[in-house]
Amino acid sequence: MRIMKMDPVGAPPPAAFAEAASLARVRKGDLCAGCGACAAIAPGSVTMRMTPPGWLRPVQQGPVSAGQDAMIARVCPGLGERVEAAGRTDDPLWGPYDTMRIGHARDEALRFSGSSGGVLSAVLVHLLETGQIDAVVQTTADPEQPIGNIATISVTEAEVQAAAGSRYAPSAPLAGLNRFLENGKRYAFVGKPCDAVAMRAWQEADPRVRASFPVILSFFCAGVPSQTGGRAVLKALDADPAEVVGFRYRGNGWPGFATAVLRDGTERKMSYHDSWGKVLSKHVQHRCKICADGTGIAADIVCADAWESDERGYPLFTEGSGTSLIVARNAFGREIVEAAVKSGHVEAGPFDVSTLAGIQPGQRERRRALLARLAALRLCLRPVPDYRGLLLWQAARQNPASRNLKNFLGTLRRTLKGRGKRAS
C-alpha cells in the first residue's frame, strides 16, 4: 500500500501566520535533512514539497502551535542530535554500539536484490514472520517518477524484497506517520540515519510513537543527492526521462549497477563507481556535509557495505555476492540479529572493527573534518546543528592540524562566497 506521494514543485501560498521558530532556524541554516518529521508533528500546517533543485523540504501552510513548535525543535535532526553511550562501546568515528558483525541474507534472491547483503530486508522478513511487527515503513521507487522515492508499507516478504536496495534520492519517510499512531499496529521503521534520529527523539517524547514504531533500522549514509542528481544520471545514460519506466540506483548484485529500464524494454546501465562517484555525490545537500551521524547511531540495527579492500585497506567495488556490515546499536538490536540468525534468515560472522575506517573512507573523513567545518560556519554566524555526545573533538584529533585548517578555510571560503552571491 502506498502511503505518500510527494507534492509536485510549487510555490507555497503567501503566509498569513508566523513562521515556526524551529523551521525558521532550519531554513536560515539550510539545515533540513528532509526527514518529514515536522509534517507528521504539525499535520495540515506543514507539508513536504519537492523544491528546486530537487529537495524535499517542509512548507508551512498554516499556524504551528507553541507545543508543535517545541516538539519539532526536539525531534528535528537538522537542529541537532543527542547521544548517550550508556555503557556501550563508544568510538569517535562510529558512535556507541553493542556488536558489529558481517553477513548476508540467507535467501539468495533477497541477498541479490539488497543493496549490500540484503540483511536489512532479511531482518524485516524475520520480524514479520515472527509476528513482532505487523508491517514495515520503508522507501521504494515512485512508479510515476522512477528516479524519485515514495514511502511504502510492506506486509509480505515480496513487498519487502520489492523495496530492497539503496535509493540515492530524497525520501521523507516520517511524513504522514501521525496517521499510524492509533491503529494498534506495530511497524518497523527503516530510514536514513537522520530519519532514525527523528524517529528516536519522537519516540522518547511520545509514548504512542514508541508503541507504534518499536524497531528502527537504518544504514550508513554518505548523503542524499537532489533529484537533479538522478536526472544527471539519466542524462549520462542517454535515457529520456519520459521513456524511463523503472530505475534502480544499485542492488541486483553488489554493488550492482544504476539501471534505467526504458518503455521499449531495453536497459541502460552505469557502474556504482561512476553513478555515485562521478555524478550523484556532486549533488548532496548542505546538511549532509555537516552530518555528525551518517552511521545510524539512533537506530537499533544499522547495515552498511562491508566492502572487500585492497592491500592498502581501500574499498574495492568489484561485483560480487553482497556482504553487509551489521551493527547492533544496543542489546535489543543484538537480540533481533541473533534471532534472525537462529530463524535462518541471516548468516552472520565476526568482523574486525579496526578495518572499518579503511573500507568507509567517506564516513571517516567527514567525521574527522566536522569540527573544523562547524567552526567555520559558526564564525560566519550560520546556524549549525547542536550535536551532543558525538565525540567531535576526539574525531578531529585523528586529523593532522593542517587538514583541519584546510577544512576550516575551505568551508569559510565557500560560506562567504555563498553569502556574497545571496547578497548580490
Ligand X SMILES: Cc1cc2nc3c(=O)[nH]c(=O)nc-3n(C[C@H](O)[C@H](O)[C@H](O)COP(=O)(O)OP(=O)(O)OC[C@H]3O[C@@H](n4cnc5c(N)ncnc54)[C@H](O)[C@@H]3O)c2cc1C
- List the one residue from 253, 361, 362, 418 that touches ligand X (CB under 6 A): 362
- List the one residue from 60, 139, 145, 259 that touches ligand X (CB under 6 A): 139
Residue 107 binds which one of ligand X, ligand SF4, none, with CB within 5 to 8 A depending on kind? none
Q: From the CB of 190, what's the least distance to ligand X, in Å?
A: 4
Q: Are strands 244-248 and 324-328 parallel, antiparallel or unpaired?
A: unpaired
Query: Per CB under 6 A, which of residues 6..25 are in contact with ligand SF4?
Result: 23
DSSP string, 181-229: SSSS--EEEE--HHHHHHHHHHHHH-HHHHHH--EEEEE--S--B-HHH
Output the furthest CA–CA distance in the chain (Å, rounded): 62
Q: From the CB of 90, what's the least distance to ligand SF4, in Å?
A: 19
Query: Per CB under 6 A, which of residues 212..251 are in contact with ligand SF4?
Result: 221, 223-224
Residue 324 binds which one of ligand SF4, ligand X, none, with CB within 5 to 8 A depending on kind? ligand X
Residue 103 binds which one of ligand SF4, ligand X, none, with CB within 5 to 8 A depending on kind? none
The helices-and-strands tally (H runs, E runs) of the chain is 16, 15
Q: Which stretch binds ligand SF4 (CB under 6 A): 71-79, 104-112, 330-338, 398-406?
A: 71-79
- List the one residue from 39, 50, 76, 164 that touches ligand X (CB under 6 A): 164
Q: From the CB of 119, what's the least distance to ligand SF4, in Å?
A: 19
Give percent helix, percent strand, percent coil of the chain, each to the nearest 5.
40, 20, 40
Integer Cα distance of 122 and 108 in angstroms: 10
Beta-ladder partners of 49: 7, 57
**Which amino acid would we find at residue 97?**
Y
- List the one residue from 6, 33, 42, 120 that touches ligand SF4 (CB under 6 A): 33
Query: Per CB under 6 A, which of residues 256..295 are in contact with ligand SF4?
Result: 287-288, 291, 294
Cell 524511463, located at residue = 244
Q: Left (φ > 0), alpha (ψ -120 to 50) or beta: where does 162 sit?
A: alpha
Binding of residue 119 to ligand X (CB under 6 A): yes
The 3-state secondary structure of 134-159 reads: CEEEEEEEECCEEEEEEEEEECCHHH
- Exposure string of 136-173, with b = 16+ CB inside 10 Å and e = fewer, is bbbbbbbeebbbbbbbbbbeebebbbbbbbbbbbbbbb
- List the one residue from 42, 72, 75, 163 that touches ligand X (CB under 6 A): 163
- List the one residue from 4, 6, 20, 26 that touches ligand SF4 (CB under 6 A): 26
Q: From the CB of 174, what's the least distance to ligand SF4, in Å?
A: 7
Contacts of 423 (CB under 8 A, 6+ apart): none
Closer residue to ligand SF4, CB minimum distance, 173 or 256: 173
Closer residue to ligand X, CB minimum distance, 46 or 119: 119
Q: What is the 8-class DSSP label of residue 19?
A: P
Interface residue list for ligand X (CB under 6 A): 114-121, 138-140, 149, 163-168, 171, 173, 190-192, 219-222, 224, 251, 294, 303-305, 322, 324, 360, 362-363
